[in-house]
Amino acid sequence: MSTEPALRPELDTLIFDMDGVLVDVSGSYRQAIIQTVDLFFVEGLGLAYGGQVSPLINNDDIDFLKQAGGFNNDWDMTTAFIIYFLEMLPPQSVITIPTKVHIPSMLAYLQTIGNNLQVTLEEMRQNKNIPRLALGVAEMGGGLAAVKKLLKRRNRHLLAAQGSLLEGNLVERIFQELYLGQDLFTDTYHTLPVVVHGPGLINNESLILKSSILNRLTEQFKLGIATGRPKREAEYTLNQLNIAGHFQSLITRDDVLAADGRGKPHPWPLLEAARRIEPSPARCAYIGDTPDDIRAAKEANGSLPFLAIGTLASAADPDALRAHFEALGADMILRHPNQLADFLM
């Protein structure tokens, strides 16, 4: 499929995914996934790296799972990786402790288990096969639910990914402490971090779409955002990058939860972002960087005219992602979102 359409489509509204389209998250959300997986096993279970200090997963691994579908939520993806690596450990018995709904107690529980383990992160890294995992997850429908069904449930009692991060959800707690940093985490959750101290990865974020291109698009189109981010994190970055004023609507994870709705690949976030724009859009496009974004736009097209536009800018393997987009029937595939001005205006 050529990246350039034969005719410029008649559109009045553009709805954007945020991460990987508007904002470069390679040094923030992606690093939070990578570092949370390591810290769960190093700080939680007390495992050593062993030999070379190299993370268990990398950006290619993240891309494989994203292309399997169902991972619009980075907490879910992080949990999926941890489940996978817990399966590599020898089976561990359940140890009864006074409480597991308290982060320090959860850490103590995991460290008690870890004292008996002789496995290193290097051994697990050498034995991983994320492409095979992603294939199995895709065949079972994608997402964290597919990972839980696919794997054997070995050591699942060590997961510590249930409930609130203020209680027993150690996975989400580590992730948010890494991503937000000490000050923003404390301001958001009104408690001090336990595992990670220092500045947050959120401050590494930068624009992918040039400000000059965004200005041009704002002159011709109504703009909105449909993202899987929590509202506070979305607003923080939009304000830090000085682009919040370009968008008439912002649909976040908070909106999905409040409406008892479903996140992407369900079309609800896209349609709700369009519904909140005035005057009502006649023809929209959604610009995303994952197969789930294309699925959501194709589904939304059944309720409101929607084009599905995929961008390859953040892909570790652009050719593989292009093939996924083509298989899903993307209406347009761009090497970079900066091409929007040339192709649409």
**Which of 50-54, 300-304, 309-313, 337-341 shows the lowest per-residue confidence on average (mean pLDDT)?**
50-54
Superfamily for the 13-25+205-344 domain: HAD superfamily/HAD-like (3.40.50.1000)
CA 11 to chain centre: 28
Number of H helices, E strands in the chain: 15, 8
User: How many C-beta neighbours within 10 Å does residue 121 have?
Assistant: 23
User: How many C-beta neighbours within 10 Å does residue 125 have?
Assistant: 20
- Listed in sequence order, the DSSP H helices in 69-210 are 74-86, 103-114, 121-127, 130-139, 143-150, 170-189
**Per-residue pLDDT tens for 176-219?**
999 999 999 999 999 999 999 999 999 999 999 999 999 999 99
| Number of Cα atoms under 13 Å in the Cβ half of residue 265 | 20
**Per-residue pLDDT tens for 5-59?**
545 678 999 999 999 999 999 999 999 999 999 999 999 999 999 878 899 999 9
Cα gap 75→37, rounded to integer Å: 11
Cite the residue boundaries of each domain of the chain with CATH code 3.40.50.1000.
13-25+205-344
Cα gap 306→332, rounded to integer Å: 12
**Per-residue pLDDT tens for 223-260?**
999 999 999 999 999 999 999 999 999 999 999 999 98
CA 176 to chain centre: 13
What is residue 263's three-state secondary structure? coil
Cα gap 132→128, rounded to integer Å: 9
User: How many C-beta neighbours within 10 Å does residue 135 have?
Assistant: 14
Cα gap 209→212, rounded to integer Å: 8
314, two tokens: 């953040």
